[in-house]
Structures are given as C-alpha cells and as structure tokens.
Amino acid sequence: MTTETLVADRSLGAVPVGWDADMAVTALYSAHYRSLVRLAVLLVRDSATAEEVVQDAFVALHGAWRRLRDTDKALAYLRQSVVNRSRSVLRHRAVVEKYAPKGLPDAPSAENGAIGELERSAVIEALRGLPARQREALVLRYYGDLSEAEIAGAMGISKGAVKSHTARGMAALRTLLEQLS
C-alpha cells in the first residue's frame, strides 16, 4: 500500500502509483493549474487564450496517460505541452495578422459627399448658362485637363481666343455661382 501513496512532493508533479488518468489529472490540475496558466499568459500575452492552452494540455495529458512511460514526469509533460501549444497560438496569430485584410481607406462622410454633389450640380447648372464657346473652353480646360494649345486645336481657334473665352467664362461662372449661393 505504500506504493500507492504520493511518491514525491506535489510541487514536483509526482502522482501516486496506480492512479488512473482521472485521479492523476485531477490531482495535477488542482496543484498546478494556476502556475501553468501564468506560464501560458507570459507566452501568449492573453489570459483567455492562456486558459484555453492549459485546458487543452490537461485534456491531452488525460488522453495520453496510458502512453506515459514515467508518470512522475507528468508535470514536465504538461509544461512542455503548454509551451508547444503557446507556440502554435503565436504562429497562428502571425499568419492571421499577415493575411488580414487591410482596412479600407478613410472614406469621406455622407455629408461631405452631399455637399460635393450640391456644389457640382451648382457648377453644372451655372455652366449651362454660359455661351457655347466659353462653356467648351472651360470644360476642355478644367474637366478635360487640356493645355491651351490642345484646346485651340480641338475648338479650331487660336490660343489667344482660348485665353479670352476661358477668362470671360470664369468671370461669368463666378458671377452665376455667387448669385446661386
């Protein structure tokens, strides 16, 4: 009967000879759970994940109890299991972070879009009130982003006429927009 008593001190992780997996894991759990969780927290930097890692290590120990050659080394088995499982958690986190979708760029607010739409519609309305040549010159210059020479070629007029139509169109557009607001 002396062989069925605790062979070594509980802090060393020894279990009584002849105990089944349930009794041994229960004894180890009550004696070492907290210290193993502290170890896992230091490794994974998250207490909830650390508790899961330790729980999984105890479940694995319970399943592997018959295969343990030396039951006195059950605590060492648990510690190694916690370290390995913590490494797996960290590897998984690294992969998730590496392939996580990038955040969307900051989109303008709905109000900003509405104001922009109102401004565009006001400009378009004011453009409709301009004479055809001034409207064409302004649209080609500011919406088409063409140079004066390109505008002259597109409209079939001189560069001086483009400058004149653009300047008069801008003045008229400014006046019309001031009236609308």
Structural tokens at position 162? 């483009």
User: Is the model's pLDDT at 9 over the cut of 70?
Assistant: no
- DSSP label at 12? G
Confidence of residue 14 (pLDDT cuts 50, 70, 90): low
The domain ranges of the chain are: 12-102, 121-180
pLDDT in tens, 130-165: 898 998 998 888 888 889 999 999 999 999 999 999
User: Is the model's pLDDT at 4 over the cut of 70?
Assistant: no
Structural tokens at position 3? 């062989």
User: Is the model's pLDDT at 122 over the cut of 50?
Assistant: yes
Query: Rounded to the nearest 10 degrees, how much is the dihedral formed by the CA atoms of 132, 136, 142, 146?
Result: -160
pTM: 0.51
Domain 121-180, CATH among 3.40.50.720, 3.20.20.10, 3.40.50.10860, 1.10.10.10: 1.10.10.10
Return d(Cα 57, Cα 62) in angstroms, integer: 9
Q: Which of 85, 83, 62 is nearest to 74 (CA)?
A: 62
Q: Which of 136, 120, 13, 121 is nearest to 71 (CA)?
A: 13
